[in-house]
Amino acid sequence: MKKGKIVLVMLVVGLCTLGAVWAGGSAEKPAATQSQAQPAQSSNAQPIVLRLAETHPADYPTTKGDFKFADLVKERSNGRITIQVYPSSQLGEEKAVIEQVQFGAIDMTRVSISPLSAFVPAFDALQMPYLYRNADHMWKVLKGPIGKQFLTSLEPSGFVGLCWYESGARSFYNSKREVKTPADLKGMKIRVQQAPLMVGMVKAFDAVPTPMDFGEVYSALQTGVVDGAENNWPSYFSTSHYEVAKYFTLDEHTRVPEITIASKISMDKLSKADQDLIKQAAWDSMDYQIDQWAQYEKVAQEKIRANGNVITPVPDNSAWQKAVQPMYDKLSPDLQKIVAEIRAVK
Ligand code: GTR
């Protein structure tokens, strides 16, 4: 081969490589060999690798949902699309990860809608305290037209909403004393997710909100930087917060759905067929995650009780509900309308 031809072949190989990376988000290597012997293939046939950030460890039910989602994508694309799940906050804490998803540095993430609401405030309407009658009510909302509308509404903010996951109900826990009524929370320093709504909620209980990353809460509880926090049974257990904050009050003040989102920048690089395949696979992983959640929640609860933690039941939550009522009054008329629609779902 003449020198000029060799340079040309190298150039073509180089361009194909670039093209494939462009086509596949933070995609992987293209097949450089195909430039010579085989006919050119459409960008659809190139391997695509997408990175998904997850804050929880590999055995946590949301992460199991992520793996299920990745398996479905791999299977349905005949191995062409890989979703690499990075558990245990390897790619960063939720707020920073959401920012990176927004500008396309991370392709996907599974997060709580609380930190997401700092970017898309309308999501407050889906996480108001004592909004849902129970988990069934929440799932009717999320799987129905309201939930689907919320997923779609993310696009102008740079995200593509893929699916919802279960996250149980959140309750308060602390290292200081048994909390039986909202008045017992008064003055306590409570860690919250980085979301204005959560800050407002803790203030509504006359406690002192301290927003911080999830990964910092254990040592903050241990060193007394905060007196308490709030979360569901599985997170209280998997983080070992139950070992440093033994008082857990079953006030179940809110159900905050989990969500899987993709970067609009990453998704726009894919064909419409691949986007649809990914969206459907995420949606189809939901029931598996809900089932994993139920199993893990039961085990977490048993282990925490066996550890001797002080678990305080709340048979009548009317005082708790009353404390957060002003938060509803302060919502914008648009969000009040959505809240009314959610409540009307039977
Ligand atoms: C968990 C949720 C995490 C994270 C965490 C927190 O329930 O699954 O994604 O948001 O709460 O409190 O920061």
pLDDT tens digits along 61-90: 999 999 999 999 999 999 999 999 999 999
* Per-domain boundaries in the chain: 5-166+257-289, 170-256+296-344
The domain made up of 5-166+257-289 has a fold known as: D-Maltodextrin-Binding Protein; domain 2 (3.40.190)
Pinpoint the alpha helices (H) of 131-270: 135-143, 145-152, 196-204, 217-223, 233-238, 241-244, 264-268
pLDDT of the residue at 15:
34
> What is the distance between the alpha carbons of residues 145 and 305, in angstroms, rounded to a whole number?
39
pLDDT tens digits along 135-180: 999 999 999 999 999 999 999 999 999 999 999 999 999 999 999 9
CA proximity to 98, closest of 150, 132, 54, 57: 54
Question: What rounded mean pLDDT belongs to the chain?
Answer: 90
Q: Check if 112 has its Cβ closer than 6 Å to any atom of ligand 1.
A: yes
pLDDT of 121 strictly over 60? yes
Ligand 1 binding pocket mutation candidate from 116, 221, 235 (most atoms within 8 A of CB) = 235
Do the Cβ atoms of 70 and 48 come closer than 8 Å?
Answer: no
Ligand 1, residue 230: give the atom nearest the CA: 12
Neighbours of 122 (CB within 10 A): 15
Ligand 1 binding pocket mutation candidate from 89, 231, 233 (most atoms within 8 A of CB) = 231
- AA identity, residue 112: S
Q: Check if 98 has its Cβ closer than 6 Å to any atom of ligand 1.
A: no
pLDDT of the residue at 221:
98
Q: How far does Cα 220 stand from its chain's mean position?
A: 23
Q: Ligand 1 mean position to 214 CA, how many Å?
A: 7
Q: How far does Cα 75 stand from its chain's mean position?
A: 23
Cβ contacts of 237 within 8 Å, gap of 6 or more? 300, 301, 303, 304
pLDDT of 283 strictly over 80? yes
Nearest residue by C-alpha to atom 6 in ligand 1: 214
Please calculate the CA angle 266-271-275 and round it to the nearest 5 degrees: 65
The domain made up of 170-256+296-344 has a fold known as: D-Maltodextrin-Binding Protein; domain 2 (3.40.190)
pLDDT tens digits along 257-266: 999 999 999 9
pLDDT tens digits along 204-214: 999 999 999 99
Same fold, 5-166+257-289 and 170-256+296-344: yes
pTM over 0.75: yes
